[in-house]
Amino acid sequence: MPELPEVETVVRTLETLMVGCSFTDALVHTPSIVYHNEDFASFVAHHQLQSFKRRGKYILLGLGDNTLIIHLRMEGRFFINHEFNRPNKHVHVSFKLSDGRVLHYQDTRKFGRMLITHDVNQTLAHLGLEYDDPHFTVDYLIESMKNKKTSLKAFLLSQSVICGLGNIYSDEVCFRSRLHPEKRVSTLTLNEVQSIHREIKLVLSEAIALGGSSIRTYTNAMGIDGLFQLQLQVHMRAKQPCLVCGQIIEKTSVANRGTYVCKQCQKL
Ligand SMILES: [Zn+2]
C-alpha cells in the first residue's frame, strides 16, 4: 500500500506530466470508486488543473473552486495514453486531458476512492499533522500520548495524530527508535518520544527524497504508482539478521498488522 512518500511521488509525477492541462471530460467505468458520481464528469471538466498537493495519503487536485481528492488504498495507480475508452477491466475512471492525452485510474482491487469537495479541510478533518508541520513537536507528541493505552504501532498507524505513516514506515520508525511496537505510548520516556519524533521526520523525508529522484525515470507505460523503496532496516526482513546486533528479525502481529521486530534491539 502506498504510504506518504509514495503518494508524494505520485503527486509530483502527475504535476510533471499534466501541469498546465485541464480535464475536458471523464468516464466513470466503475461507479463505486467515485462518491456522488452522477455529476462527476461535469464537475471535473473545463477546469485547469491549478494545484497538485498531498495531505496524508490523499492526492489533492485543485480544479477551480473544487478539489478532486483521490486515495489509492492498496493498488491504485495511474497511467497515460491517447485513447478515451476503457483500455482494460481494471481501469475504473478515465480523464480526457486538454492536450489530447488520457489519464487512466487503474486498481485491481477496487479499494481506491475519489471525491470532489468544496472544502478539503472539512473533508479531511480526521487527519492529524503532517511530519513537516511546524506544530509537529515533541511536546505535541507527549500531549497526544498522555493517558493513551494504545501501542506505539497502533498510535503511529492511526492517522489522527500524525498522518501518512502506514505499516512499512511505522515498523521502520519503531526499529530506528529501538522501541518495541507493542510498547504502550503512555509509558514512553522523554528520550524515547524525542527519538520517535526525530525518526518519523527522518524516515519520511529520506523516503520522499528517494522518490523525488525516481520521478524522472517514469514512463507512461510503467504507470504512475509511486513505488520505490527506501532501504528498509526491519520491515520484510523476517528470519534475516538484524543490521545492528545480528539477532534474527521476527515477524509478529501488532495492531492486527504484520510487524517486524528485533527483540534484542526493541525490548518490551
Ligand atoms: Zn537488533
Active site residue 53: no
Q: How far apart are CA 239 and CA 89, in angstroms?
A: 38
Active site residue 3: yes
- In the predicted model, is pLDDT for residue 97 greater than 60? yes
Mean pLDDT confidence for 23-31:
94
- Helices 138-145, 190-214: crossing angle, 10 deg rounding: 120
Mean pLDDT confidence for 239-258:
96
- In the predicted model, is pLDDT for residue 209 greater than 90? no
Q: How confident is the model at residue 217, as a pLDDT?
A: 52
User: Domain 4-123 belongs to what architecture?
Assistant: Alpha-Beta Barrel (3.20)
What does the domain layout of the chain look like in residue ranges?
A: 4-123, 138-261
pTM reported for the whole predicted model: 0.91
> E-strand spans in the chain?
22-28, 47-55, 58-63, 66-71, 77-81, 91-97, 102-106, 113-117, 250-254, 257-261
Q: How confident is the model at residue 137, as a pLDDT?
A: 98
* Active-site residue, selected from the candidate residues 73, 201, 257, 263: 257
Q: How far apart are CA 230 and CA 172, in angstroms?
A: 10
Q: Ligand 1 centroid vs 236 CA: distance in angstroms? A: 14
- In the predicted model, is pLDDT for residue 225 greater than 50? yes
* Active-site residue, selected from the candidate residues 12, 57, 77, 176: 57
149-207 per-position pLDDT tens digit: 999 999 999 999 999 999 999 999 999 999 999 999 999 999 999 999 999 999 999 98
Chain centre to alpha carbon of residue 155: 16
Higher-confidence residue of 192 and 225: namely: 192
Closest CA to 10 of 64, 81, 60: 60
Active site residue 57: yes
Active site residue 153: no
36-81 per-position pLDDT tens digit: 767 888 888 878 899 999 999 999 999 988 999 999 998 899 999 9
In the structure, ligand 1 is a single-atom ion and the residues with CB under 5 Å from it are: 242, 244-245, 247, 262, 264-265
77-93 per-position pLDDT tens digit: 999 999 999 999 999 99
- In the predicted model, is pLDDT for residue 221 greater than 50? no
- In the predicted model, is pLDDT for residue 17 greater than 70? yes
* Active-site residue, selected from the candidate residues 3, 8, 172, 199: 3
Question: Phi/psi of residue 225, each to 5°?
Answer: -120, 0
Q: How far apart are CA 118 and CA 218, in angstroms?
A: 32
In this structure, the strands spanning 102-106 and 91-97 are: antiparallel
pLDDT bracket for residue 208 (50, 70, 90): confident
> Which CATH number is correct for 138-261, 3.30.450.80, 2.60.40.10, 3.30.230.10, 1.10.8.50?
1.10.8.50
- Estimate the share of the chain in helix, then strand, then coil, as percent rounded to the nearest 5: 35, 25, 40
250-262 per-position pLDDT tens digit: 999 999 999 999 9
Cβ neighbours, 10 Å, residue 215 = 17
- In the predicted model, is pLDDT for residue 263 greater than 90? yes
Grid coordinates belonging to 191: 528520550
* Active-site residue, selected from the candidate residues 2, 8, 77, 96: 2
> E-strand spans in 91-243?
91-97, 102-106, 113-117
105-142 per-position pLDDT tens digit: 999 999 999 999 999 999 999 999 999 999 999 999 99
pLDDT bracket for residue 216 (50, 70, 90): low
Q: How far apart are CA 44 and CA 52, in angstroms?
A: 14
Classify residue 214 as exposed, middle or buried by CB count within 10 Å of its CB (0-12, 13-18, 19+): middle
Q: What is the DSSP letter of 248?
A: B
- Chain mean pLDDT for the chain: 91
